Chain A
Amino acid sequence: MTKMSVPSLFSLKVNGRNVVVEADPKAPLLYILRNDLALNGPKYGCGLGECGACCILIDGRAVRSCMIPIAAIAKREITTLEGLGDEEHLHPVQQAFIEESGAQCGYCLNGMIISAVALLDRNPDPQETDIREALRHNLCRCGTHIEILAAVRKAVVLSKAASSASAHSVVPETQA
């Protein structure tokens, strides 16, 4: 891959917010998110797209931000772990991981949650093998797999509950 070139300005949409950063076009998005935007959810794990610790969502798809040159993003929407929810407003997947203690050291947790969110987005009712395949290339070294699998199974339930709850709450408004 070619060497660094002249820094340029890039407008990004991250967690619903528009930001402008100045960086080398080849700079990995991971560094931009962490160092320029102080979004610490995505973690540096391998810099080779192998482990999944740096996962983010781009247009809803789980991708590895260590391998994304900032110049490749253009107008795509970026969501990080922070953008899913905070402790007061947890995303159902985050809530499931907390309830099932889906972390030991927690360094891989970001990638697990992001990959689970992407999975449930494309398949709201995954089977056990779907879940295991979806997380296949997210590495965990502590051996938290059992709790993580339980968390994703719980996330399926919580997500369904959340979507039916929001559907109910929308009905009166639309009728009104």
Chain B
Amino acid sequence: MTVGRDSPKSSYLAASDMLAVVSASLPDAELYIAIDAEGRVTAFNGHVDLGTGIRTSLAQIVAEELDMLFENVEMVLGSTSAVPNQGATIASETIQVTAKPLQRAAATARQYLLRRAAERLQLPPENLVVEDGIIRAVTGENRSLSFGDLVTGANVQLVLDPEAPLKPVADYRIVGSSRPRVDIPAKATGRWTYVHDVRLPGMLHGRVVRPPYAGFDHGAHVGTSLISVDESSVEHIPGLVAVVAIGDFVGVVATREENAAEAAKSLKAVWRLPPELPDLNSPEEALRANPSTPRKLADRGNVDLALEGAANAMDRTYVWPYQMHGSIGPSCAVADYRDDRLTVWSGTQNPFPMRKDLSVLLDMPEESITVERLEAAGCYGRNCADDVTADAALLSRAVGQAVRVQLTREQEHAWEPKGAAQVIDVRGGLDLEGGPAGYDFETRYPSNLAPTLPLLLTGKISPVADVLQMGDRTAIPPYAYGNLRVTVHDMPPIARASWFRGVSAMPNTFAHESYVDELASAAGVDPIEYRLRYLQDPRAVDLVRATAERAKWVPHTGPGTLGGEGDLLYGRGFAYAVYVHGKFPGTAAAWAAWVADVAVNRKTGEIAVTKVTCGQDSGLMINPDGVRHQIHGNIIQSTSRVLKEQVGFSSTAVTSKEWGGYSLITFPEVPDIDVLMIPRPDEPPLGVGESASVPSAAAIANAVFDATGIRFRELPLTPERVLAGLNGKEIEKTVSPVRRRRWWTMGVPVVGILSAVAGLATMASPWRPAISSVDKPDPNVYSAVTIERGRLAAAAGACNVCHVGTDGRAFAGGRRFDTPFGAVYATNITSDPENGIGNWSYPAFERAMRQGISRDGHHLYPAHPYTSFAGAEEADLQALYAFMMTQAPVAQKAPETKLAFPYSIRSMMAGWNAMFLKAAPFSYDQAKDAVWNRGAYLVETLGHCSACHTERNVLGAEKTGKARLSGGFADGWEAPALNALAKGPVTWTETAFYDYLRSGYARDHGSAAGPMADVVSALAPLPDSDIRAMAVYLSRLNTSPASETPDVQTQAAITASATASEQAARISPKGARIFEGACASCHEGNSILSPLTLNSNLHSDVPDNVLQVLMNGVEAPAILAETTGRGAPEVMSMPAFRDVLDKGQMEDLTAYLRARFAPGKEAWAGTGPAIDHIKSMVH
């Protein structure tokens, strides 16, 4: 059990032997510092550590001011029961703002301790020094007192003295040194307690089910879209405790996490259709149409007049996409509601606002709520941490027990408040001297604070979007433009949005710094020199010069000076910004400047950021290594945002629900980084959490211009955008793919079947007599040998694959098969007399097996493969009968098959049988050996391979001749060709067939999935010799095997696929990204799984099997191998992507897979309808 709970403030204040420093704001004084009798210091801060290391930096500040050992300071961050209310942890404020009272509190304590020591030692204070928590005399006497000695024996509460003297910076020993992070040892050994790791006694597990308007949080439909929840849809789930629905808030609670997850997935909820939205994938139009109020931030000179007189007007628009924070861990919280009190364990960035939200949500006073703040996965603004805390509170209240709620990846992706899209217009131009004539800047930023979601879902607050003034961050350009107008169009959010690292300053700077680069270029001046002409802030000037020097910047006046090699063009770009945060005019954080080096591949459109040189002026650096790590983090994250990141939307919701649909930078793409930190120990410390992100986009876009001569003003700089820019045309589309008809798409000609049957009516009488029922045979009449032979016959026939009960009981029937004629249900073939075949005589059984006539005389449909069984040996059928009669009866009726007219007329099957049933015994081929003959017998009769692997005609009969075993469709899957028409690049050898049938895996072909995995499992009882015989027979179906060995074929296929990867990425760039994010983690660099290019399904004429696998997943091959008694190394299952990739993403991915892994084959058509079909199938 892991419980993280901070001791409350009251326990520190009440302790004997404690020195506390509190605020003057009585009666509810805030606690900043507590020193105990051991001399250990606990310090309290209202802000939280988001992974930036402020836990360490704040402890350094405290230790420094107290002159004590850094190791003896512990920080308590964020827990409402203990720490001061200092608002939300935002805007890089912690060091710059909230650390100040803490520092003063430490100084207050130090002053007091010195005074006390002076009294106790009877020495003047100026004769004392403090070192490592020990106060000693400097005058030679060997007398000293520790902080602990001075604290012992009294409870002292000091009021924070705002005048307490601070140490001079020159004396700093701890601040300004790179102390190692205090949390990493525990994190590196799995001992750290994140909020995800909290476990309370008796804790239950919850999951939530979110509404279909994923990622949108305002409008009348919010909180009012749930029509119904069907609790019976989850009542079968073990350990289910509750289903909770309040407005649009829906959650489930179960005793185990996997069961809660299953319940959330299975719960049937009916929702109103969400409203249609403007297209946010190209957000410019939607943002311009969003209602807004202009707010003028600056207006100097006469912009309109200046621009009228400009030598060359340059009007530009910059577009920033929706992006996401993308915390690596989906948000999680634990709540414990009992006795009218609530405690939550939360990863919130805003503990006190969180407490207020909970008080509104649950109608309870804030005093009854404690927010214990624990670390969570890094967040760079606002993720779902507050949402899930409220979710947990609602579920805990509903069940009266502690509940842990873990959001899923797709919920975090879809619902986290996004970093808003932004559109910036700049009107300007050059004056006659090449200077900036005027600068008319307008920016649109649709974002607010994103209210905590359950407040909206439950209707506790109205779903009307607030308009906040947040678009103004760094909206004022840093350059001394004489004629300047800056306007912010304040607007409500469109998609749910809130601050994200750099907030609106990052897009605003993209515009400022791209534009000034364009001015420089138009003026024929080096871009840095041009900036310096108009940059007046001396620290900015110093930084720009120092950064340029560090990067060995070579002045140049136009693009292309760095040249290139092969397909690569090299370029380098500069940008500078000071990040201004908070309410306008705001507070400046650290200054930052970038020199970005890029290589642009003109063939693929890929941009590699090869190196970033970043200079930063952070003022005094509390922990230089910590600052450096923040700069690294900002550079890497912002490079990822600029090159790759954009949230996708459908017309109603967010579609980026996992890392394939929202790509992040990976290790091979990380640039080299050179950081220059300007030493400014005498200047106040500045926030460093965001600054180095801000210049990124312009620096990279300017570098791309330098390489290619083309300006990109919309992000992200994906290969397809760059290629389109380079070529000025669309990517080539592939044409006229083949389309093979599947039997679910085949219109069955009703008239044809009727006339065919009518014509046959005279030839075959449809009426068959019933065979009398018998008493169930006594199991004892059958010998063990007979029953065993029957068991093997049932295995060879894989009877239980189709006839398995819906609850898993053998042979109980009920499984549904969708055929072109309608749904066919497998029957109960257990020995139960009422519902199964217990009252069937052997002759009735044999007639059903060979002729497809049920005991009562009605015709069976050929979903039952009696056309194959017809040739089975008598002894096998007798043994099979004996086996079936000795198996456990299941008294459960399977659903009746009721096809629509005319297929409901079962007697028509008589005519069908006359046409297609060849009731001859299997004939052995004396020219072939016994093994071949055994294999042929198993494959062609009991094994009925042709039932699936042969295409059927319009009447549902297996085709003959060349079509035989040349591939067919069954149960929504393609059953590929088993003969020379097999599509995979490697010939199926005897060994491959054997391995595949025996273990479900063949090295050169991959793993069995879908119905074939069930068949392999069913074949497990057969002896190796039978599997070998089938493999021999099947491998010889291909009478003209390739001359190359499988190894040669494999190598050729792998080479072809590797060569095709570039082209595939051009054909489907989104598909390439989805593959990289969602598939490659297992399918590349994995020596255990077969290369995808060997997989027959990718080479097929139809995408059905690939889609089946993508949508429904594949169970770990190790499980199938275990059931067959063979080891297989891959223990990971393939996940089902049906709920996380939408139709468009599936199509993109499938197109990529086809182009990359089946190079040279035509693109698939009909992927969309195939996806719809698989989605519609009962699964």
Contacts and interface: CB of A to CB of B under 8 A. Distances in A.
Interface of A: 1-5, 7, 23-24, 26-28, 31, 34-35, 38-41, 43-53, 58, 61, 63-64, 67-69, 71-74, 76, 80-82, 84-87, 90, 94, 97-99, 101-110, 113, 129, 131-133, 135-149
A86 B666 CA distance: 29
A139 to B, nearest CB: 5
B1080 interface: yes
A4 B673 contact: no
A27 to B, nearest CB: 4
Give the interface SS of chain B, mostly helix, strand, loop or mixed.
loop
A106 B183 contact: yes
B1118 interface: yes
Nearest to B1113: A1
B184 A98 contact: yes
Given A5-B808, A104-B378, A146-B636, A31 B186 contact: no
B187 A103 contact: yes
Contacts of B375: 105-106
Contact of B629 (A40, A58, A144): A144
Nearest to A78: B1131
B755 interface: no
Given A72-B1116, A107-B328, A107-B329, A81 B190 contact: yes
B330 A44 contact: yes
Contacts of B262: 3-4
Contact of A146 (B237, B378, B670, B1122): B670
Given A98-B188, A101-B625, A40 B377 contact: no
Contacts of B184: 97-98, 101-103, 106, 109
A84 B1140 CA distance: 34
Interface string B48-82: 00111100000000000000000000000000000
B180 interface: yes
16 contacts: A23-B256, A34-B197, A35-B205, A43-B377, A46-B658, A46-B659, A48-B1135, A50-B1078, A64-B1081, A103-B181, A105-B328, A136-B668, A141-B328, A142-B637, A143-B635, A146-B673
Contacts of A45: 328-330, 377, 409
A90 B186 CA distance: 11
A24 B258 contact: yes
A137 B1080 contact: yes
Contacts of A137: 666, 1080-1081
B50 A23 contact: no
| 10 closest Cβ pairs, A-B complex | A105-B51, A41-B190, A105-B378, A143-B636, A143-B633, A137-B1081, A107-B377, A106-B187, A72-B1116, A81-B190
Contact of B328 (A47, A53, A145): A53
Contacts of B417: none
A1 B188 contact: no
A45 B1134 CA distance: 16
B632 interface: yes
B670 A76 contact: no
A104 B192 contact: no
A74 B1118 contact: yes
A147 B629 contact: yes
Contacts of A40: 2, 190-194, 196-197
B185 to A, nearest CB: 5
B667 A105 contact: no
A2 B806 CA distance: 11
A108 to B, nearest CB: 5
A28 B328 CA distance: 19
Contact of B667 (A51, A103, A136): A136
Contacts of B183: 103, 106
A101 B181 contact: yes
Given A64-B1081, A67-B1135, A85 B189 contact: yes
A35 B664 contact: no
Interface string B641-675: 00000000000000000111000111110100100
B749 interface: no
B668 A132 contact: yes
Nearest to A59: B1129
Given A24-B258, A40-B2, A107-B329, A4 B237 contact: yes
B1082 interface: yes
A17 to B, nearest CB: 15
A113 B326 contact: no
Contacts of A90: 188-189
A47 B1081 CA distance: 13
A23 B255 CA distance: 12
Nearest to A63: B1132
A46 B634 contact: no
Contacts of B380: 141
B625 A109 contact: no
A112 to B, nearest CB: 9
A26 to B, nearest CB: 8
Given A69-B1119, A82-B189, A133 B53 contact: no
A63 B1131 contact: yes
B188 A23 contact: no
B1122 A50 contact: no
A132 B668 CA distance: 5
Contacts of B192: 40, 106
Contacts of A24: 238, 258-259
B406 interface: yes
Interface string B196-233: 11010000010000000000000000000000000000
B378 A81 contact: no
A41 B257 CA distance: 17
Nearest to A74: B1122
B1061 interface: no
Contacts of A110: 190
Nearest to A104: B51
Contacts of B1134: 49, 67
B409 A133 contact: no
A176 B618 CA distance: 61
Contacts of A148: 667
A52 B1137 CA distance: 17
Given A7-B238, A104-B51, A139 B1116 contact: no
B194 A49 contact: no
B190 A39 contact: yes
B541 interface: no
A98 to B, nearest CB: 5
B228 to A, nearest CB: 22
Contacts of A141: 325-328, 377-378, 380, 637, 664
B257 to A, nearest CB: 5
Given A1-B1113, A98-B184, A35 B256 contact: yes
A44 B205 CA distance: 14
A57 to B, nearest CB: 12
A27 B380 CA distance: 32
| Most chain B beta carbons < 10 A, residue from A47, A98, A104 | A104
Given A105-B50, A110-B190, A143-B635, A31 B668 contact: no
B14 to A, nearest CB: 33
A117 B237 CA distance: 39
B189 A81 contact: yes
Contacts of A39: 190
A140 to B, nearest CB: 7
Given A67-B1132, A69-B1133, A141-B637, 10 more contacts: A1-B1114, A40-B191, A51-B659, A58-B1131, A68-B1131, A82-B191, A94-B189, A101-B181, A109-B187, A145-B636
A72 B1122 contact: yes
Contact of A44 (B186, B406, B1116): B406
Interface in B659-711: 659-660, 664-668, 670, 673
B1077 interface: yes
Interface in B417-473: none
| Most chain A beta carbons < 10 A, residue from B186, B636, B1137 | B636
A129 B262 CA distance: 40
Contacts of B256: 23, 27, 31, 35
